[in-house]
Structure formats: structure tokens, C-alpha cells
Amino acid sequence: MIIVLDGPAGSGKSSTAKAIADKLHLQYLDSGALYRAITYQYIKAGESSSLFDNLDKMNLTFNYDAGNFRVFIDDEECTAAIRSKQVSGSVSKVAANPLVRKYVNRLMKNYASSFASIADGRDLGSAVFPDAAVKFYLQASAEVRAERRTSEMHQMGQEVSYDEVLQNIMERDRIDSSREHDPLRKAEDAIVVQTDQMTFEEQVALCIQHILSKTSHTT
Ligand code: CDP
């Protein structure tokens, strides 16, 4: 069984998905982290696009452990490094590449075929898992999303201003929504959750209520 949450940057998808995973004993799959890991490697390789032709040689692995989605390239853990400003600045460009999308989609489908999972991303309900058991689309204004993301980054010890974050979020929204391959899009049958006025606990509870009513899953 797969449940998906899509939405724009900073809409609260990952924290909501993790809370649901822990409550319902599901695996959590962070598709954005996989795009970020490839971007991290691309920057490290001097931004050479030959990386995209050789993705099968890249040993990208991941696991979900105690609320932490951990990502490794070969034996190097890059979980923290993929959240840097440099990676955030380039990830949407890298994620627009069809070879990159094909590679990430294959990794996710393999994983979801083995474990009951909840995954978050941009195109999961519309393109990657059209038959998902439940689909959510999380929304909030760019300003609210930038506030949330700025405070998260400050908590991680990153020096960043609200204006910088807002600009990055708006730029990623623009690229993610307008790209040719699998753009950010609400699936027709997705449940829209408008989170501006909701507390975190309220949005998690609402999603769980929908999941329990649409599946045979129990808490
Ligand atoms: O957490 P945040 O909303 O900042 O973004 P993310 O989930 O870490 O995703 C980073 C970037 O990866 C997005 O801005 C998209 O460009 C790309 N992405 C995508 O294209 N498709 C997905 N399913 C997930 C992420």
C-alpha cells in the first residue's frame, strides 16, 4: 500500500508524512531527498551533466530510521549536506532532467513494492503512483511556507534570511510547476489540505482520519 502527499516547497509534507508513518507504522519515503542527493553529487562532480547518463553507476541508498530519512551515496552519508543552500538553489534544475526523474521513480517504485509506505513529493499522485490508496495535496501561502522553512533552517544551525528562503521557494515553485516532465500538480483525486490556518497536530489528525476511512489500515 502506498499513500502520497504532494505539494509545493515548505507546505509541511515531510513532517506530516513522518508523523503519519510513525502513527500508522508505515515506511516513509522522501522523494525530494533523492533529488537533493543527486544534486549534491552533481555539484560535487563540478556540475558535469555526464552524471545524468551514468546514474545507474551511482550507489544511492536510503532508509527511514526513528523519524530521520537518511541518504547515502556509496558509503558517505549526505543526509545533512543535501539541505544546504547550494543544493536548494540547484535541485529544481536537476529534477527537471527526464533521466534523473526516471531513475528516482524507479528507486521509489522498487521500495514501495516491498514496504507499506507513505511518500511525499511533487508528482507522486499524478505521475508516479496514480493508483495510490490515498492522495493528499498540501497547500499554504508562499509567505507561511517561507516562515516555516526559515525557522527549520535556523534550528538546523543554518544562517539564512526569510527573504532568501522566500525567494528560493518562489523560484522552485515556478520551475517545478512549469517543467515539461511531471510538473508539480494536484492529482484529480487528491484531497486538498490547506494548512495556513491549521496547527501541525490538526493537519496530521485530518490526514489520518481520511486514511482510516479510505483504507482497511488501523492504528
Ligand atoms: O522539502 P522541500 O519542499 O524544500 O523540497 P523537497 O521535497 O526536498 O524537494 C526538493 C526539490 O526536488 C523540489 O523543489 C523539486 O524540484 C524536486 N522534486 C521533484 O521534482 N519531484 C518530487 N517528487 C520531489 C521533489
pLDDT digits (tens, 9 = 90+) for 67-81: 899 999 998 999 999
Q: From the CA of 33, give the closest atom in ligand 1.
A: 8
Taking 50 as the pLDDT cut, the residues of the chain under it are none
pTM metric for this prediction: 0.93
Residue 110 half-sphere exposure, CB side, CA atoms within 13 Å? 8
Using alpha carbons, select from 76, 114, 94, 118 the residue that is nearest to residue 34.
Answer: 94
Predicted pLDDT at 187: 97
Taking residue 218's Cβ as centre, other Cβ atoms within 10 Å add up to: 7
- The verdict on the CB of residue 148 being under 6 Å from ligand 1 is no
Predicted pLDDT at 75: 86
31 CA from centroid of ligand 1 (Å): 7
**Order of strands across the sheet with 134-139?**
27-30, 117-121, 2-6, 134-139, 191-194
Distance (Å, whole) CA 136 – CA 12: 12
- The verdict on the CB of residue 168 being under 6 Å from ligand 1 is no
Q: Which domains are present in the chain? A: 2-212 (3.40.50.300)
Ligand 1, atom 23: closest residue by C-alpha: 121
Predicted pLDDT at 66: 83
Distance (Å, whole) CA 44 – CA 59: 15
Distance (Å, whole) CA 170 – CA 185: 15
